[in-house]
Amino acid sequence: MSVEEILKQWGIAAEQDEYFLEYLQKQYPNNVFFIDYCPFPAGDKYDQVEILFQEVLERKADRDEYMKIERKFNDVMVKLWLYNEVYVYFNYIYTKRYNKGYRKLFRQYIKGCPASKNNPISDKKVLEMLTRLSFRLSIQIEIYLKEFQMVVVPSFSCFVVYFHDISYKEVVEKIVNVEGLYLRKYYKDSFAYADIAYETGCIV
């Protein structure tokens, strides 16, 4: 079952040629949020503090600083995973570009995972691998958290979150804040679409 099929079960159906996240942002803006390390959009100054993994590889950014940020996002996903059945849908896989440190585990996992379906994540190591690779723009995934009725789309420097049941926002925000991140609201001009990230050239 794909994310689009899950949304249909919730009575949500995007146009055939429209990415579901864009549709959700237009039709349900009050249910779309970002997990980010800034509480509000910061304009041009943001470029001076944003750290992408590609910049680390090119020695243009400090690896330790990047890893601190990545760890925060990883720990948020681990805590959400503790309270949910979690499924991942592979929207696109850069088969030759994922980080060498995860190559063996990734190959083992992907063998039994049809790309057209949501695949369960019951292993913490697998969850952390997928979270880190998606944050590094090595793979493009969509994550479904069943009990919280959430869809999470890792993008570069943030995660885009859709709450079908907005009542879970409060507990998720507490988890996010404890890890030193922010759950900020979507607004009309946000640079948010996850697929845009894969046009920037920020790959491993």
pLDDT of residue 110: 80
88, part of any domain: yes
pLDDT of residue 199: 39
Q: 36-45 burial, b for 16+ CB within 10 Å, e for fewer? A: bbbeeeeeee
Lowest mean pLDDT among 16-20, 56-60, 90-94, 179-183: 90-94
pLDDT of residue 84: 97
**Binning pLDDT at 50, 70 and 90, where does residue 85 land?**
very high
131, part of any domain: yes
204, part of any domain: no
In angstroms, the CA 29 to CA 14 distance is: 14
178, part of any domain: yes
Q: Give residue-wise pLDDT tens across range 136-168.
A: 888 888 999 999 999 999 887 789 999 999 999
The two structure tokens encoding residue 133: 């690779």
166, part of any domain: yes
With contact defined as beta carbons under 8 Å apart, do 186 and 201 qualify?
Answer: no
85, part of any domain: yes
127, part of any domain: yes
Which range of residues forms the domain containing residue 91? Answer: 3-199
Count the domains in the chain: 1
Residue 196 makes CB contacts below 8 A (sequence gap 6+) with 155
pTM for this entry: 0.85
- Is residue 191 pLDDT above 70, yes or no? no
